[in-house]
Amino acid sequence: MRLLSSLWSLFRVTRPRLGPDYHHFRKIIIPTPRGTTEIDHLIVSRFGVFVIELKDRSGWIFGDQDDAYWTAVHFQQKFRFQNPLRQNFGHAKAIEDFLGISPHALHSVVVFRGSFEFKTPIPSGVRCHEYLSWVAEKRDVLLEQPTVDAILASLQSHAQHGWLAGRRHARAVRERYADDTTCPKCDGELVLRTAQKGPEPGSRFLGCSNYPACRYKRNMHAS
């Protein structure tokens, strides 16, 4: 029991800059009706539950809140990726269902990091480089302490964390996307390609449209 408690203390990280009222989780994996979903950062406090999606990007970023895909232009190469606001909305919905809390107690944000520049107006719900000040400015008490304690207990009992859990989640995502045309690695579009070299030249496969930045590919199995 002491070992489990020690491991959980590594799982939960309280940021000194935010104070003891905040319980900060990194790369937490929670169950969903479709399998699992991974959340980059989850912060639990009396001021609400914060769902944070991190995006490391370089180059120029083009995207609107209502677009299905956004575009990054880096060294004259274009890379499409799923609208991260939609992606994080799904994460927030999963947390709402998993914890059984009101959506009014949820705060979600997408944080871009890296050497990027937005060439379109920065959509609402997106921050650049940091998010701690955004968390700290939310001061309305939305959850009573017993509810916070129950949330932490639920996460301790049912959420997952760590390298092995991450591998299981990644495998489940690959299986989930088996019949999809969205790249599970970068959310780009999968396009049909023909191998020019390698052990099976001439074979067909689905490759990410963001190649060479993303080298994900899926073999086409003969029926």
Domain ranges within the chain, ordered by starting residue: 2-175, 177-223
What is the spatial distance between Cα 163 and Cα 179, in angstroms, rounded to a whole number? 26
Q: Rounded to 5 degrees, what angle do the CA atoms 13, 27, 135 make?
A: 60
Decide which of 200 and 191 is more confident.
Answer: 191
Strand duo 106-113 + 126-128: pairing:
parallel
pLDDT in tens, 36-88: 889 999 999 999 999 999 999 889 999 999 998 899 998 888 888 889 999 99
* pLDDT band, very low/low/confident/very high, at 150 (cuts 50, 70, 90): very high
What are phi and psi for residue 201, nearest 5 degrees? -60, 140
Cβ contact 12:25 at 8 Å: yes
Mean pLDDT of 106-125: 96
Q: What is the pLDDT of residue 192?
A: 83
Q: Rounded to 5 degrees, what angle do the CA atoms 32, 36, 151 make?
A: 60
What is the spatial distance between Cα 23 and Cα 82, in angstroms, rounded to a whole number? 29
Decide which of 4 and 108 is more confident.
Answer: 108
